[in-house]
Amino acid sequence: MTNHWIDLKNADVILAMGSNPASNHPISMKWIMRAREKGAKLICVDPRFTQTAAKADLYAPLRSGTDIAFLGGMINYILEKDLYFKDYVVNYTNASFLVNPDYKGPADLDGLFSGYNAEKRNYDKKTWSFQLDENGIALKDPTLQNPNCVFQLLKKHYSRYNVDKVVDITGTPKDKLLAVYELFGSTGKPDRAGTECYAMGWTQHTVGTQNIRTMTIIQQLLGNMGIAGGGINAMRGEANVQGSTDYGLLFHILPGYNPTPNASLVDLATYNEKNTPKTKEPRSVNWWSNRPKYIASYLKAVYGTAATKENDFGYSWLPKIDVGQNASWLMIFDKMLKGDFEGFFAWGQNPACSGANSNKTRQAMTKLKWLVNVNLFDNETGSFWRGPGMNPKEIQTEVFMLPCCSSMEKQGSIANSGRWAQWRYKAVEPIGQSMPDAEIINELFFKVKELYKKEGGAYPDPIVNLAWEYGEKDAAGKVKHVDVHAIAKEINGYWLEDVYDNKVSPPKLIGKKGDLVTSFPSLQADGTTSCGNWIYCNSYILKDGKEVNMMARRGKDDPTGLGLYAGWAWAWPVNRRIIYNRASVDLQGQPLDPKRPLVKWDAGKKAWIGDVPDGPAPPMGTDGKFPFIMKPDGVASIFGPGLAEGPFPEHYEALECPVEANAMSKQRVNPTIKIFGDKMDAFASCDARYPFVGTTYRVSEHWQTGCMTRHCSWLLEMQPQNFVEMSLELAKDLKVGNGETVIVSSARGEVKAVAVVSERFKPFKIASSTVHQVGLPWHFGWQFPEDGSGYDSANLLTPNVGDANTMIPESKAFMVNVRKA
Amino acid sequence: MANETKNRKGMMVTPELCIGCRACQVACKSWNQLPGTKTTNNGTYQNPPDLNSTAFNLIRYNEVPGQENPVRWLFVSRRCMHCEEAGCMTICPTGAIYRTADGAVAVNRDKCIGCKLCTNACPFDVPRYDAENKMTKCHQCSDRTAAGMLPACVKTCPTGALKYGDRDEMIKTAKSDGFKTIYGEQDLSGLGTVYAFKDEPKLYGMKENPTIPGSVVFWHTYLKPLSFIGLGGVVAAAAIHYLAIGPHKEKEEV
Amino acid sequence: MAEIVRKSSVDEILNHWILAGSCILLMITGFAFLFHMEAVASVFGGFNTMKEVHNWGGVVFTLSMLYSMRHYLKDAFEYDADDAQWFKVAGGYLSHKVKVPPMGKYNPGQKLYYLAVVGAGIAIALSGFAIWFMKDNGTIMLLAHLVHNVAFCIFVLAVPVHIYLGTLANPGTFKLMVSGTLPLEEAKRRYPKWMKAAGKM
């Protein structure tokens, strides 16, 4: 979230698209309903009439996988009707930047951008660049008239998304479509705030990243970024998924969103050189220019005293990926199926049910020598060898179950979607032999380290050099029990030496050896500071000589009335509650929306009032800095050259779709996606065997694969069985009655489900044909309830094809059939 | 009496604010230590299908035709209404069903004899009997409210669709918030669970003009006093007869 | 020694007292239910056991009532001119000066009382069993509840009258209902038509 949960109450218009907050994020709905009580309007755009739709002031259906067409039409509408916030667009975005004249877009190239390589299925992004002046600064046209400026290119690109075309693609009734455009477009006024809430409904597509990109363009045009009641808000489906991303759970990032080094970055200097963005724009903060400090401090936290200047702070010990290697989920299981792995830790997850094309995932695990399942309960993953279609006699995988304890049985921090790190306390003792994850890791670490020490092994250095000062040690040097506060403090970082500011005379002590670092501007690239995760620096500080856990704060003051609650817990970065908040003011630093003054420049005191601003520099109109400090140019990117598919989002159909052709261009599917081609990777588009669009989602009663919730009888009672929702029209065609068990099948598998026939589903009119859509939750699995009455996972149906940037599988739009059981 | 009614606490249900998350159903089970039961999907989200001895409240999912959209999906909390004129309490032969100081209708398990008369006297089909043949139902978490806490369902409701507090005040607030119809404001001398609606309550499946069965009213109003007065009257008449006229005397043999 | 006449057989006496005892027990427990008398309930060990006492007391009452028909039912339906005259003088209970016509074994007040007991008894028994066993039928439950209470009112009015007339108002009656016998002379005096029919007068 660029903003945070409570901030939803500040919005005038809330667009819930790609999400179902009422069901999946009920607490967000608390704030949305608060906003509505004050007169805000809730728009819900969803293929099905959800609980959120039931509360919405305006509901518009759309066929799964057509969000870019829908939103592209909105961009066109905003531009045509002049609804955009001109000052914001000119000053705070790259709309005025002049683009390389060689750049060509889908309007010119029938769905492709310049630089496409059909063989490699990727782009040479050379032409997706800006024209620079002699100082290397982008050329601009503040009048936005230059035909090569971003704004004009944007206009040209989205003029193709006219209302009739959009309606033909999305199946949305025209009046509803226009009503959504008009209502959300109304937030382009400075005193109107519009926010967007998305979740997996946007990400789980082959165009997932571009779905979100399209919305960022809208929010930039309307001036809704960086303001209270605005922003683009990714509603995280798990309590701590924000934290896990912040801490580098994904293969391509280290903690704090630093890129994972690849094999070509042979030393730290090369890594820094390649990964540190540069700008010649003197007024851009370009915060990422600090990356060398964060990496050095990170390495010091990881390897401690073993990390020295001489050995590049142990940079060589960090695991490297191959150049261009994608090591994401779909790839892991593809390689596992090919026998490339010996073992697998399924830690706090249930791939047998959560992985798209679960049959492939389940088969992949049969190729393993060993599998360690760390979970609260045994699940479909731990028991995969005795699952449906498996012959235990033929499976050699040795499975170990390590019971871990639940979040209530340990203390520590979690980071919510609003980037708040909140400290939580242990409520009850762990049950039986279960242990907190950290304790399990501690046990494993010392055992592995001991083996490396004893046997040497291929490359023991990364393990034996790890700093592990997490608590009292026994005689053998093993940490007896992990002190989570020690970890939290390591994450925040320490001064490792007495550090002086030598610019003043006499040099002033800015950091005393052994003290906690106060915040990340203090971090050093020379190894004199440590910090496990720079964005969390300032979360555990020294105040008046005492160590203060900022995450444990419970202050309830809200002086602005905007619900910032700056004294409650702690938000990264440096307790900033709404990021890019300097975009909420005019060039003189005065709030664009006087009703919602998020930050304000006090010219007398030469200081900002309100939320923690994006840097202390004065306003942009004086001698200050640009507001989008994380962007090299200092402004937000309407033209975004970083993504795989192109600088402007373009509509492509889902890999499995019900239409023969993309109404926008000859490119039916995203030209840059990786398509797996083995026998377990079946796809079927426009195939009479699978005539209906399928989608998956969650219900409030269950969580993810249901491993925890299916074991809770209170929740299972409310949603006991896998179900498939469909329209009355489709049910009539199929002669299926409400409550009857049916079989839903795709090119990859089939699953039983109870038919829930409802007016909440309606067939779509797509151009001249009718498209039926069905939907299933993916919370169920064969292993529990033990009688199998819950049926199996809907992910047996979903395709293992991913977004071109993130490889998130396309489980929101695929093709299925439904037949009577 | 009048004073008591004035301070009566109650539950305000605002279906317009309900998002159907059912945290209330879970909170109720959690606080009241009620087990989950084995159910099946019957083609609706509503589960269990109706109140039972382990489900004191539930969300009804009503699909009704809409004007703006093909359908409206209405979420309505179903639970005991805590009637001021409570049929169950009236008919209960042991006083097991009683009114708490806060105005809730609660059950004393020890006194319940499992006669099920309350089931039939309730206009809302609320009382359910558990495995030990004791009547169970929502008691507005009287054990919590007595300790100054909110009922579990209210405490957990994220949107304020369930509120607990001074009944009159909540009704006043709801009206000033534009809710034209307060279901239960007057019914049965005022329900303890009132609903705020902008539409017709009927649309939400609310029972129109709930009444206690006539026989129960007749019995309560006439028969019950009659039996008591009758006994007294007969005894008094006998006493007067004995004193005024005296016992039958054996006449002398003629 | 004066000749003794047996008016009531041993089994009749026994049954009468079983009927009377169960009836009073049912009335006490019934009242306790009606007015939530915890003190009374506690005598039985609480409402739950009192319910059992009431239910099984009802079974005893019902059987005993049915058995009593053997003794009284035939007589209860036979009325003659003297009976009509008896009503006119109100059985002599309102004035000792009026002339009460000669009576048979039972006076019409007693006969009507019996019919009331049987009528209300059947009603109260049937409705009682309905409440006991037909809990799932709402209509029957509510009807039974009403009938049970209407019948109860009849008992409440009738039983105390019977007790009064059988004790204080008619000295010797209670003794008769215990022993079942009375001297012939007394029988001739009190039940002349019965004695005549028996050939003793």
Kindly report the CATH number assigned to the domain that includes residue C119.
Answer: 1.20.950.20
Q: A29–B20: do the CB atoms touch at under 8 Å?
A: no
Does the beta carbon of B218 lie under 8 angstroms from any beta carbon of chain C? yes
With CA atoms as reference, the chain C residue closest to B233 would be C157
In a domain, A36, yes or no: yes
Query: What is the rounded average pLDDT of the residues A7-17?
Result: 98
In a domain, A375, yes or no: no
The boundaries of the domain holding residue A171 are 5-237
pLDDT at A125: 96
Give per-residue pLDDT as tens, A419-439.
999 999 999 999 999 999 999
Does the beta carbon of C98 lie under 8 angstroms from any beta carbon of chain B? no
Does the beta carbon of C138 lie under 8 angstroms from any beta carbon of chain B? yes
In a domain, C191, yes or no: no
With CA atoms as reference, the chain C residue closest to B239 would be C164
* Poorest-pLDDT segment among A136-145, A251-260, A452-461: A452-461
Q: What CA–CA distance (Å, rounded) separates A398 from A368? A: 8
List the pLDDT tens digit at each of the 201 positions of chain C: 578 888 888 999 999 999 999 999 999 999 999 999 999 999 999 999 999 999 999 999 999 999 999 888 888 888 888 888 888 887 777 777 778 787 878 888 888 889 999 999 999 999 999 999 998 888 999 999 999 999 999 999 899 888 988 888 888 788 888 888 888 888 888 888 888 887 777
> B49 with B40: CB under 8 angstroms?
no
Residue B105 has pLDDT above 70, yes or no: yes
Burial status of residue A630 (CB atoms within 10 A of its CB: 0-12, 13-18, 19 or more):
middle
Nearest to B19 among A29, A712, A757 (CB): A29
DSSP category for residue B75: E
pLDDT at C7: 84
Instruction: Mutation target for B interface from C154, C164, C175, C201: give the one with most B CBs within 10 A.
Output: C164
The length of chain A is 821
Q: What is the percentage of chain A residues whose pLDDT exceeds 70?
A: 100
pLDDT at B6: 56
Nearest to C141 among B93, B116, B241 (CB): B116
Domain boundary among A182, A204, A237: A237
Number of residue pairs across A and B with CB atoms under 8 Å? 114
Mean pLDDT of chain B: 92
User: Which residues have CB under 8 Å from A610's CB, separation 6+?
Assistant: A560, A564, A581, A597, A598, A599, A600
pLDDT at B251: 52
Query: What is the rounded average pLDDT of the residues A721-730?
Result: 98
Instruction: Mutation target for B interface from A31, A46, A55: give the one with most B CBs within 10 A.
Output: A55
Instruction: Mutation target for B interface from A41, A759, A762, A787: give the one with most B CBs within 10 A.
Output: A759
| First-last CA distance in chain B | 67
Tokens of A599: 């930050």
DSSP-assigned beta bridge partners for residue B99 = B105
Q: Which of B213, B52, B72 is nearest to B127 (CA)?
A: B52
With CA atoms as reference, the chain B residue closest to A790 would be B40
What residues in B contact C157, CB-CB < 8 Å? 230-231, 233-234
pLDDT at C168: 86
Residue A276 has pLDDT above 70, yes or no: yes
Q: A760–B71: do the CB atoms touch at under 8 Å?
A: yes
Tokens of A219: 């929010």
DSSP-assigned beta bridge partners for residue B181 = B197
Query: What is the rounded average pLDDT of the residues A206-232?
Result: 97
**A102 φ/ψ angles, rounded to the nearest 5 degrees:** -80, -10
Nearest to B219 among C149, C168, C169 (CB): C149
DSSP category for residue A455: H
DSSP-assigned beta bridge partners for residue B75 = B61
In a domain, C97, yes or no: yes
Does the beta carbon of C152 lie under 8 angstroms from any beta carbon of chain B? yes
Give per-residue pLDDT as tens, A638-683.
999 999 999 999 999 999 999 999 999 999 999 999 999 888 999 9
Does the beta carbon of C156 lie under 8 angstroms from any beta carbon of chain B? yes
Give per-residue pLDDT as tens, B194-219.
999 999 999 999 999 999 999 999 99
Q: How many independent structural domains does chain C possess?
A: 1
Burial status of residue B249 (CB atoms within 10 A of its CB: 0-12, 13-18, 19 or more):
exposed
DSSP chain C: ---EEE-S-HHHHHHHHHHHHHHHHHHHHHHHHHTT-HHHHHHTTSHHHHHHHHHHHHHHHHHHHHHHHHHHHHHHT---HHHHHHHHTGGGTS-SSSPPPP--SS-HHHHHHHHHHHHHHHHHHHHHHHHHH-TT-HHHHHHHHHHHHHHHHHHHHHHHHHHHHHTTSSTTHHHHHHH-EEEHHHHHHH-HHHHHHTT--
> A812 with A698: CB under 8 angstroms?
no
Query: What is the rounded average pLDDT of the residues A105-130?
Result: 96
User: Which residues have CB under 8 Å from A37's CB, separation 6+?
Assistant: none
Q: What CA–CA distance (Å, rounded) separates A220 from A359? A: 42
Domain boundary among A237, A264, A299: A237
> B166 with B9: CB under 8 angstroms?
yes
DSSP-assigned beta bridge partners for residue B10 = B165
Residue A542 has pLDDT above 70, yes or no: yes
pLDDT at B252: 40
In a domain, C81, yes or no: yes
Residue B3 has pLDDT above 70, yes or no: no
Residue B234 has pLDDT above 60, yes or no: yes
- Total H helices, total E strands in chain B: 9, 10
Q: C142–B224: do the CB atoms touch at under 8 Å?
A: no
Tokens of B17: 């604010």
Q: B36–A757: do the CB atoms touch at under 8 Å?
A: no
In a domain, C91, yes or no: yes
Domain boundary among A184, A215, A237: A237
In a domain, C186, yes or no: no
Instruction: Mutation target for C interface from B90, B97, B120: give the one with most C CBs within 10 A.
Output: B120
Number of residue pairs across B and C with CB atoms under 8 Å? 109
Give per-residue pLDDT as tens, B126-181.
999 999 999 999 999 999 999 999 999 999 999 999 999 999 999 999 999 999 99
Q: For the CA atoms of chain B, what is the radius of gyration? A: 24
Residue A488 has pLDDT above 70, yes or no: yes
Does the beta carbon of C41 lie under 8 angstroms from any beta carbon of chain B? yes
Q: Which of B222, B227, B220 is nearest to B86 (CA)?
A: B220
Assign residue A729 the CATH number of its domain. 2.40.40.20
> A334 with A778: CB under 8 angstroms?
no
Q: Which of A355, A383, A329, A382 is nearest to A797 (CA)?
A: A355
Residue B9 has pLDDT above 80, yes or no: yes
Q: A23–B35: do the CB atoms touch at under 8 Å?
A: no
The amino acid at residue A152 is Q
pLDDT at B2: 40
In a domain, C162, yes or no: no
Q: B73–A54: do the CB atoms touch at under 8 Å?
A: yes
In a domain, A92, yes or no: yes
- Total H helices, total E strands in chain A: 22, 29
Q: How many independent structural domains does chain A possess?
A: 2
Q: B26–A714: do the CB atoms touch at under 8 Å?
A: yes
Q: How far is B222 from chain C (nearest CA, A)?
A: 10
Q: How far is A741 from chain B (nearest CA, A)?
A: 10
pLDDT at C1: 55
In a domain, C185, yes or no: no
DSSP C69-105: HHHHHHHHT---HHHHHHHHTGGGTS-SSSPPPP--S
Q: B41–A701: do the CB atoms touch at under 8 Å?
A: no
ipTM given for this complex:
0.93
User: Which residues have CB under 8 Å from A82's CB, separation 6+?
Assistant: none
Q: How far is A813 from chain B (nearest CA, A)?
A: 23
Residue A346 has pLDDT above 80, yes or no: yes
pLDDT at A256: 96
With CA atoms as reference, the chain B residue closest to C48 would be B113
Query: What is the rounded average pLDDT of the residues A604-608?
Result: 92
DSSP A348-399: S--HHHHSSSHHHHHHHHTT-SEEEEEESS--TTTTGGGSTT--GGG---EE
Nearest to C135 among B116, B227, B231 (CB): B116
A26 to each of A22, A202, A390, how far by Cα in Å?
5, 19, 39
DSSP category for residue A403: E
What residues in B contact C31, CB-CB < 8 Å? 227, 231
pLDDT at B1: 38
Residues of A within an 8 Å Cβ radius of B: 22-23, 26-27, 29-30, 33, 49, 51-55, 59, 699-701, 712-721, 723, 737-740, 754-760, 762, 789
The boundaries of the domain holding residue C25 are 9-157
User: Other CB atoms closer than 10 Å to residue A602's CB: what's the count?
Assistant: 11
Residue A172 has pLDDT above 60, yes or no: yes
Nearest to C157 among B92, B219, B230 (CB): B230
pLDDT at C189: 80
Q: B223–C51: do the CB atoms touch at under 8 Å?
A: no
> B13 with B161: CB under 8 angstroms?
yes
User: Where residue B250 falls among pLDDT bands split at 50, 70, 90?
Assistant: low
Q: Where are the beta strands (DSSP E) in A199-298?
A: 232-234, 253-254, 258-259
Helix (H, G, I), strand (E, B), or coil: what is residue A607? Answer: strand
Q: Which of A727, A103, A68, A810 is nearest to B70 (CA)?
A: A727
- Residues B4, B6, B11, B15: what is their CA dihedral angle, to the nearest 10 degrees? 150
> A330 with A806: CB under 8 angstroms?
no
Q: B218–C170: do the CB atoms touch at under 8 Å?
A: no
Query: What is the rounded average pLDDT of the residues B12-22?
Result: 97
